[in-house]
Amino acid sequence: MSIKSIQNDINSTGIAPAIVVLDRDHVAASADATKPSVHIGSDGRVSRTAPAVRDDRIAALKQHFVDSHMVHFPFLGVVHGAVDQAGLDRLADHDATHRMIHPPELSTIRPVAASDVPAPAAELAWGLQRLRVAAIWQRGYTGRNVVVAHLDTGVDSQHPSLSGALEKWAVFDPKGQPVDARGPYEDEEDHGTHTAGTLAGRRVDGAPVIGMAPDIELIDATVVGDGDTIARVLAGMNWALAKGARVLSLSVGFPGWKTSFESIIKTLREQHLLPVVAIGNDGANRTRCPGNYATVLSVGAVDDNDKVAAFSSSHKPGDPGTGPMVCAPGVQILSAKPGGGYRKADGSSMSTPHVAGLAALLFSAKPDATIDEVQQAIIASCSNPAGEDASRIGAGIPDGVAALEAILK
């Protein structure tokens, strides 16, 4: 099916983007180097080593891509580039090809509403109150030593609430290649600063408290915004694995259901990275990939009355896919805006970093927890006080304290 989709693109334009999932046995440098190695230390820090590959075999694949341009993502076990008809034919029959994927076009799941707010009160944002994070902080769990990857439009690293929050950052171009990002790190649009603020906003005197996990080691990759391509997202995921992330906060997706990208998400989980993904802002009976995969912790949005927001996406019974698994605060969410100041916004993009931040807090409480244990603790903590339909709210709204007790049992 994926090869057929690639073929259709070639028939229309002469070339098409393609992802080749590698046959690791064919490209491995040795028999024991076919999979990434993962080590989780006693402090919960993760280190990963990509499989050793035969450089000559990777290089040999390049000749089948247009202009010999191909990017290898070793932790994901894939290569990406554009192919013409001759390249498609050769790659389809190549010993190094396990299968081929027609890349979907991802984009930011943009807020349905946003407005700047003047000098907000120095208090705990309502979403943080709803998830009871202050009680978790009081027990000493603030996300310290937990590396969380945030793939979005970038972050205003000079914003007071995010100053010092960014441990590492990267920018990838539309072909998935790293860009030299010298000087202050910036937001290509106005999305990533807001979601990063909810995830990792630091405490600032006289300013509102907006961050779920203020002491995490935030690593950020610019993968959407000025040129939305799947290659940028693949590059960001590969980079996150290389940098030792335990949690991935992802507020991007594409409408509908496609199975082709699911193997990439499974690869993240196999390397002990928990993907927390927005379900979308397309309303009931419509979802977005990869938020509708069973292999992610998908998040929808509720308001301050515990009602599912009308815009929050949900799975249509009988259709493939799933989600949301949980819902979190996603309406009138106060967070940072590029250039300083604060903004309120509505969207499942706003709810997703609430849950990613909670996951980070649980890892800080139990460094040796598995990603499945953390995900299940969050799901088990949920309740549905408003009596919403399970297809719209999933397991319900997480309770941070109940999730903490579950992970510490």
Residues marked as catalytic: 152, 191, 349
Name residue 217's beta-bridge partners.
147
Pairing relation of β-strands 113-117 and 46-49?
unpaired
Cβ-proximal residues to 170 (8 Å cutoff; 6+ apart), any chain: 178, 181, 220, 221, 222, 236, 239
Helix axes 192-200, 348-365, angle to 10 degrees: 30
d(CA 186, CA 308) in angstroms, rounded, equals: 32
Cα 56–Cα 61–Cα 63 angle in degrees, nearest 5: 105
- The encoded tokens of residue 318 equal 């009988």
Pairing relation of β-strands 333-336 and 342-346?
antiparallel
Question: Residue 233: phi, psi to the nearest 5?
Answer: -70, -40
Residue position matching structure tokens 């190695």 = 37
Assess whether the previous peptide bond of 324 is cis (omega < 30° from 0): yes
Q: Are 258 and 361 in contact (CB under 8 A)?
A: no
- The encoded tokens of residue 301 equal 């949005």
Cβ-proximal residues to 113 (8 Å cutoff; 6+ apart), any chain: 345, 346
Assess whether the previous peptide bond of 208 is cis (omega < 30° from 0): no
Task: Please give the distance of CA 66 from its chain centroid, rounded to a whole number.
Answer: 29
Q: Are 169 and 157 in contact (CB under 8 A)?
A: yes
DSSP conformation letters of 112-137: SEEEEESS--SSB-HHHHHTTHHHHH
What is the b/e burial string over 23-49, where b = at least 16 CB atoms within 10 angstroms of the residue's CB?
bbeebbeeeebbebeeebeeebebebe
Q: Which of 65, 217, 237 is nearest to 148 (CA)?
A: 217
